[in-house]
Structure 1
Amino acid sequence: MADQPVAGPFPTVPLTRRTPGDPAALAALVDRLPAAVLALDPAGRLTWLNAAAERLLGALSPLLLGQVLAEVPGTAGRALASAGAEAADTGEPVTVQAAGGWYEVRAARAEEGLALTVSDVSRRRTVQERADRSAARATLLVRVAAELSGALDGVSALGRLARLVVPVLTDGCVVTVVDRDGRARDVGSWHADPDRRDLLARYARVRLDTLPPSSPVGRALRTGEPVSSAVTDVLALMSDDGTREMLRALRAESVVVLPLPAESRTVGVLSLYLDAGRQVSAEDLATARAVAVQAGRAIDRVGRQSRQIQLAEALQRSLLTDPPDFPGVEVVVRYVPAAEAARVGGDWYDAFRHPDGDAVVVIGDVVGHDTAAAAAMGQLRGLVRGIAHSSRGGPAEVLRGLDEAMATMHAGTLATAAVARLERGGTRLRWANAGHPPPVLLWPGGRVEALAHEEADLLLGVDPEAERREDVVALAPGTTVLLHTDGLVERRGSTLDEGTERLHAALAELAGAPLPQLCDELLARLLEGTPQDDVAVVAFTVRPPV
């Protein structure tokens, strides 16, 4: 029969050139390959293997030929048989652990049986694992920084920290914080094994009450230095049988306790619990220390902010006093702080008697959300009273005088304000507005009306010579006037006009309700919980004559 060319993208080669040469020479050549090569019959029995395969299976060919690969003594035979079958079925290489290393198995199946090639990829896998661990540690530091950098509640953020470091750095983690009085408490825990998470959480709730000062946690808190210990040594220090049994049931082999350092003291510790066979590398330890430093700084920062916020809130609340009693007028005030404690700011209100005996109601908002805004709010509030008493003028005159005073005494401060004065026994309202949300009237019949000009007047602190307009509206007995700051109508994902419409609709529905109830219900409907910004409300109703 004549030679037939082989079709394909390569040059045609006669079939006779594909005929094998000397089998012994070919076997010797395959023996020199670093990869193991094995052939199995359809029953899984070894029919051929090279020298590398002999070394991998731990025996010479005469002892292996004819044996079922999966039944060869040791773990390598079973692992290679299973991986070979999977590789043949999927057409993809399969990586398997065998004989103390990692191997990549490729396979092809034919009528004669199964052929396997097995390559040692232990070094490549080690390099890849190191690269993966390095990337995981870098990602962990980024996630921790993101979690802690903007945290306003240090305890809650640290409680979530345990979930971040597991399993990158450890199998289990407990986070401990220390308050200003030196009291330690565990605020968070997590374990890589779901079956041990609840146990670790229960252990964290009781361990600090039973661990002696000589324990790793006690030593780390006292010295500010990392402490490593075998769990058996910790068990020997514990006197409470129940707590000791919980720690034993966690099946941890060792623990590493890292202090959380602040500027002047240790503010907590991270307890890393490691299972048998797991060790903390130098790189892992360096990353854990970096996490601990970030956590300590976050606690210290939040603590300082909390003390500043408490002072600002105390200042703000000390100035938001209850209104005086006015004949024929009921006045109700409300103040709701922001959800974010750091956003304490410049919302304020006031109600006082004009020298002529009329009731004056003021509401304002200093631009900014910090202690400076709160301090400026207090000063502007005092200025309004002083200007109203000294000038004896109306709302526009009060705003003009306040603008002039701010230009010389509080340069750089911006604020909005609305001033309303009840005249003629409450039958007439004189008002002026400097960039503030307009006052709202709720008429006795339930009609709602906003007191606004076509163009809003300039806010305070921009131009002390700006014109201040003043308007007058007659009030019917039973009319309610509402003044509020913008936090009442502003909401994320919604426009100011939509917020104003919600306010007007709610007021119309609440018409006829007692004024305190109206204010409380209005806040509940519009805020839907704690607002993102401070909210101040002052409302008054002209009582019908008796």
Structure 2
Amino acid sequence: MAKNRGEDLDLAAVRDRAIRATTVSVVITGPRDAGTPIIWANDAYTRVTGWRLEEVQGRNPSLLHGPGTDHSVARRLAEAVAAGEPATATVLNYRKDGTEFWNQVSISPVLDEDGRIGHWVGIQVDVTDQVERADAQAASIREERRARAGLAMVSRVSDLLADLDDPYVLREIAALLELEVVGWAGFFVDDGDLRATSGIDAGPRFEGAARRRRRAGGAPDPVQDLLDGVRHDPVEVRLDARGLGPTTQHLVDDLLEPVRSGRTQADAVVVHPVTGRRLVQGVLVTAPRHGSGLAGYSPHDLTVLYLVVRRVGMAADNVRLYAREHRLAETLQRAMLPEQAEIRGLDVWTYYAPSSGHAQVGGDWYDVLEVSPDHVVLVIGDVVGHDVEAAAVMGQLRSVVRAYAHDDAAPGAVLDRVDQHVGGVRLARPASLVLVSMTREADGWRLQWARGGHLPAVLVREGRAEPLAEASGPMIGFGVGGRGSGERVVGPGDLLVLFTDGLIERRERTLREGLGALLDVVAPLGGLDAAGVGEALLASFADAPEDDVAVVVVRVPDPGSAPAAEDERGRRRRWSLPSEPGSIARSRHAVLRACEAWGIPGRQSAELVVSELVANAVLHGWGHLVLRLFDVGGALRIEVEDANPAPPVSVDGHTGRVGGYGMRIVERLARWGWEPTAHGKLVWAEVDPAVGAPGPG
């Protein structure tokens, strides 16, 4: 028995030496009801915490707590002590010198001989290295996830920018940013003045206006500095700032609306330049989700926003560059197309529309040339291609044909001379055409024609349509002389249609089949006026053309017959007009003819309304104009479409100047409105026949 007691004493001494010698910190405290004071700690405790035993005896283990300690973890340990249960937790503690370390604490109750908790033992392990490695790994994972999310969002922005015709593409990108990165976002385009926008504008950029703006009294204008390229990094702008330059102040004024509406609570925003290849196209304004201004964004957030605005800037630059090039080509091409000719004794309607897939430029062309009051020459042709070179070749060819057509020679002889000229100058593109000469005679018109590789004109007479297939020959420049001419005599009620292959060409059918379909459609239309025939052809064949379309319709009026009724598709007309002042007079003439053909009263009011709508499109729009007229239950609906997406504005005139009252006149005479289109806007007006035109003054 004595031996066993000796062994127990020896074992106790070994345990005591082992606890003292271990590198693991061991602390023994008194019971909870005594405040769990520290009564003993081994040397490892001192090495880990810096506290000696005599300094901590009688104190609570919470002396290791500090400002960064998670009190919820400490509370869980205290609750375990209160329940008399063991517990383990990792908590941020502080050494005697104030340095932090992560402490893995395991506490266990020590029972006395009566089974009651007399003491608590705590095992403490410094796990700072493990926690920091885990935190670094978690941070790396989070950063990788953020990077992937950022790349995914930039990819999504690129997908959205693929549909540049969407008028709300920038609004969708702003919404995506609000979902992933920012609290609020909005794009502003620079067209002389910053204006909020939902889409990428293809309109003209007033590059000099904003850059020449004088700074008022040298006031700081950080947004203008971005637009000028003086600054390149995002700038912070406080919404309560005063004494700002005009551009920054204008932007702040615009941003007060989303603040008032509660869409953002920010007191400062960040302005990011939307940079193209050379110039800043506008700005992206954002407010962070948390914080204020630049301080609310991490470097990762700013990188994502930079990638987004660069993509938007390049897309905007491409759209505007593309649009400028095509406006140039279209201007060149339309400058070479003639005005609508008014020929005494003939009803003439012309139409030209480039294929939307070829950006409003092509090689189709027509001409209506009044050589003398009794001699008219009609030409329609097609130059291969859809670019500036095709338009230039078309202009050269048109000038040559015009010059030779004045010689009063037969059409075949004219084409022989054109062949000779083209062979000498070596035009860059092949071309085809039909030339028709109409000479007034006592009982009608003598019709002569010749073809150079082009589809035949169509003659409609007494409900029958026939292609004028005679006098055909090779494409222009490939003839070797001796081209012949066909001849007919046409009289009242007869109809002649000239067209390019874009009117009937489709992938799913041959040109022969397309010509047959056109003959079927046009045969019963001889009783309509020329514009009615043209509209019926466009409605049947040109709603979705695959190529440029040019059409010339000439009708010999028949005073003895009543106008034919329109078909079941409804009465409508359309014209493609150049954006130039001459289109205003042509639109007035078109309205008067339509009202006369349809028996619609109020022609004077309609003439005024269409004048104002087309004049506004010429002055403030760009691109070619489309005029459409509809009979809507005895009233006239007028639609004018142009490529400027900005809405029309009704104003009280221009101070100190004549004009500016156009939309006021329209409001007085008609119901009107507007709507965006894929390539600009459409302004419409329905003229009330009961309202007369305003008198002078």
Provide the TM-score with structure 2 as the length reference: 0.49
- What's 1:275 paired with? 289
Q: 1:481 aligns with which of 484, 496, 518?
A: 496
Offset of residue 121 of structure 1? 9.7
Q: Which runs of structure 2 are paired with 1:244-263 in the superposition (5 Å)?
A: 245-246=259-260, 249-252=263-266, 255-262=269-276
Q: 1:436 aligns with which of 449, 454, 458?
A: 454
Structure 1: gaps spanning 5 or more residues: 1-53, 68-119, 190-212
Point out which structure has higher relative CO (alpha carbons under 8 A, 6+ apart).
1
- What's 2:420 paired with? 404
Offset of residue 269 of structure 1? 0.4
Q: Structure 1's 520 and 123: CA in aligned 2 closer, same or farther, altered over 3 A?
A: same
Offset of residue 367 of structure 1? 1.9
- What's 2:367 paired with? 350
The aligned length equals 409
Q: Does the 8 Å contact 2:349/2:553 carry over to 1?
A: yes
Once the two structures are superposed, residues 164-192 of structure 1 have per-residue CA deviations (whole angstroms, 9 ceiling, x without a partner) of: 5453443432111011xx21101029xxx
1:371 aligns with 2:388: yes
Q: 2:543 aligns with which of 516, 528, 532?
A: 528
- What's 1:508 paired with? 523
Q: Structure 1's 127 and 394: CA in aligned 2 closer, same or farther, altered over 3 A?
A: farther
- What's 2:186 paired with? 174
Q: 2:337 aligns with which of 306, 310, 320?
A: 320
Larger radius of gyration: 2
Distance 2:308 2:255 in 1: 33
- What's 2:232 paired with? 225
- What's 2:377 paired with? 360
Distance 2:527 2:480 in 1: 42
Offset of residue 439 of structure 1? 1.4
Structure 2: gaps spanning 5 or more residues: 1-71, 86-132, 200-218, 243-251, 561-697
Q: 1:185 aligns with which of 195, 202, 211?
A: 195
Once the two structures are superposed, residues 14-73 of structure 1 have per-residue CA deviations (whole angstroms, 9 ceiling, x without a partner) of: xxxxxxxxxxxxxxxxxxxxxxxxxxxxxxxxxxxxxxxx98994489569899xxxxxx
Distance 1:417 1:451 in 2: 13
State the Cα RMSD in Å: 4.5
- What's 2:239 paired with? 234
Distance 2:416 2:74 in 1: 94
Offset of residue 540 of structure 1? 1.4
| Partner AA of 1:442 in structure 2 | V
1:296 aligns with 2:313: yes
Distance 2:526 2:333 in 1: 31
- What's 1:418 paired with? 434
Provide the TM-score with structure 1 as the length reference: 0.61
Offset of residue 539 of structure 1? 1.5
Q: 2:468 aligns with which of 425, 433, 451?
A: 451
Distance 1:239 1:294 in 2: 27
Q: Does the 8 Å contact 1:427/1:477 carry over to 2?
A: no
Once the two structures are superposed, residues 139-163 of structure 1 have per-residue CA deviations (whole angstroms, 9 ceiling, x without a partner) of: 444554565578479x765455434
Offset of residue 442 of structure 1? 1.7
Q: Structure 1's 59 and 413: CA in aligned 2 closer, same or farther, altered over 3 A?
A: same
Distance 1:138 1:466 in 2: 66
Q: Does the 8 Å contact 2:330/2:360 carry over to 1?
A: no
Q: Structure 1's 427 and 244: CA in aligned 2 closer, same or farther, altered over 3 A?
A: closer
Offset of residue 475 of structure 1? 3.8
Distance 1:320 1:246 in 2: 53
Q: 1:134 aligns with which of 147, 156, 159?
A: 147
**Identical-pair percentage:** 32
Distance 1:350 1:361 in 2: 6
Once the two structures are superposed, residues 323-374 of structure 1 have per-residue CA deviations (whole angstroms, 9 ceiling, x without a partner) of: 6565654333223344468332222111235699643211012222223222
Once the two structures are superposed, residues 250-269 of structure 1 have per-residue CA deviations (whole angstroms, 9 ceiling, x without a partner) of: 24586332112245542200
Distance 2:454 2:277 in 1: 43
Q: Structure 1's 494 and 122: CA in aligned 2 closer, same or farther, altered over 3 A?
A: farther
- What's 2:552 paired with? 538
Once the two structures are superposed, residues 74-132 of structure 1 have per-residue CA deviations (whole angstroms, 9 ceiling, x without a partner) of: xxxxxxxxxxxxxxxxxxxxxxxxxxxxxxxxxxxxxxxxxxxxxx9987776555444
| Partner AA of 2:188 in structure 1 | T
Distance 1:245 1:408 in 2: 70
Distance 1:163 1:383 in 2: 56
